[in-house]
Amino acid sequence: MIPVKQVRRALQPQRGGFLNTFTHTLQPYAGCAFGQATSQGQGCPYCYVRRLPVALFAASPWGEWVVAKENIADVLRREMHRLAKRGMLPTLRIFMSSATDPYQGAETGLRLTRACLEVFAEYPPALLVVQTRSPLVVRDVDVLQRIPGAWVSLTLETNEELVRRAFTPTSPTVASRLDAMQQLLQAGIPVQAAVSPMLPNTPDVFARLLKHRCTRAVVDTLFHGDGAHGRRSEALGLRALFERLGYAEWYHRSAHLPLLRALESELGAHRVQFSQAGFNAIGDEGDAFARS
């Protein structure tokens, strides 16, 4: 059993920052088990959250703890009810989640994220982006279908299973994530393939794999997406990690350009976005937003 806590607030107002077109974030869990270290290495070595106060002031290292916010859906329901009464639902752009993954392993049994989705089905915001790397999100397709503004943004940093295993050994396989994208899309849920941060890959193959599995793709890098022009990535030791794993030639500012070109050629430029502006433009007019 993982520890639980009670919260007084569910939606966190988003003021500026990386997600500057979103009005709120929502985290059903604190901590993140995808970041745990294994004998093969650190779960998500690029995770910037490990340098934020939530991680720095925790009793255990980032990746080794998860706390479930047991009453999050009840609190969210009250907040959404109040917002609905004030006519605010059409103004809400909600990102779930920015500092954890809402589909932790514990979610299989606890169903807190699913309970939050049920609230959004009752009180639909203009936009809900569910950000995850876990195929477990497919379990909730039936609820997502009842939220008109819902997107799933699925992280897939590379198409190469060997690269995934080397850099993020505790993450779900490439094949399972591609399969999840396909299932979501087939169920009518708009899917953003979040190649973020991009890891070494084979651009033409990767672009072809994504072509019919996502509504849009957004690419981000360890230089453009770390909020500090690459200094955070440097501080996290990523240059050394790329060198140690034999991928030193991929650690540079323009390494993403071949993939961007390949994606634009396969998907069309209107379905391909880059870095912060790309994440923030999701669901905008002109985006391929319509459900099939």
Residue 214: Cβ-neighbour burial (10 angstroms; 0-12, 13-18, 19+):
buried
CA–CA separation, 245 vs 167, rounded Å?
Answer: 8
**Would you call 232 helix, strand, or coil by DSSP?**
helix
Tokens linked to 236: 């996290």
Q: Please list, residue by residue across 47-72, b when 16 or more beta carbons sit within 10 angstroms of its beta carbon and e when fewer do.
A: bbbbeeeebeeeeeebbebbebbebb
Single out the segment in contact with ligand SF4 by CB under 6 A; choices: 42-50, 106-114, 226-234, 254-262: 42-50
For ligand SF4, give the closer residue by CB, 43 or 230. 43
For ligand SF4, give the closer residue by CB, 41 or 258. 41
Nearest distance from residue 17's CB to ligand SF4, in Å? 15
Nearest-5° angle of CA 62, CA 66, CA 69? 135
For ligand SF4, give the closer residue by CB, 11 or 49. 49
Nearest distance from residue 177's CB to ligand SF4, in Å? 12
> Per CB under 6 A, does 251 bind ligand SF4?
no
Q: Which of 11, 8, 60 is nearest to 31 (CA)?
A: 60
Looking only at residues 209 through 248 of this chain, which bind ligand SF4 when binding is defined by CB under 6 A?
none
**Would you call 110 helix, strand, or coil by DSSP?**
helix
- Please state whether beta strands 24-26 and 93-96 pair in parallel, antiparallel, or not at all (unpaired): parallel
Nearest distance from residue 48's CB to ligand SF4, in Å? 8
Q: How many residues bind ligand SF4 (CB under 6 A)?
A: 11
11, 19, 30, 32: which one contacts ligand SF4 (CB under 6 A)?
32
Tokens linked to 18: 């990386």
44, 150, 195, 199: which one contacts ligand SF4 (CB under 6 A)?
44
Looking only at residues 110 through 169 of this chain, which bind ligand SF4 when binding is defined by CB under 6 A?
133
Looking only at residues 45 through 74 of this chain, which bind ligand SF4 when binding is defined by CB under 6 A?
47, 49, 63
Binding site for ligand SF4 (CB under 6 A): 32, 34-35, 43-44, 47, 49, 63, 100-101, 133
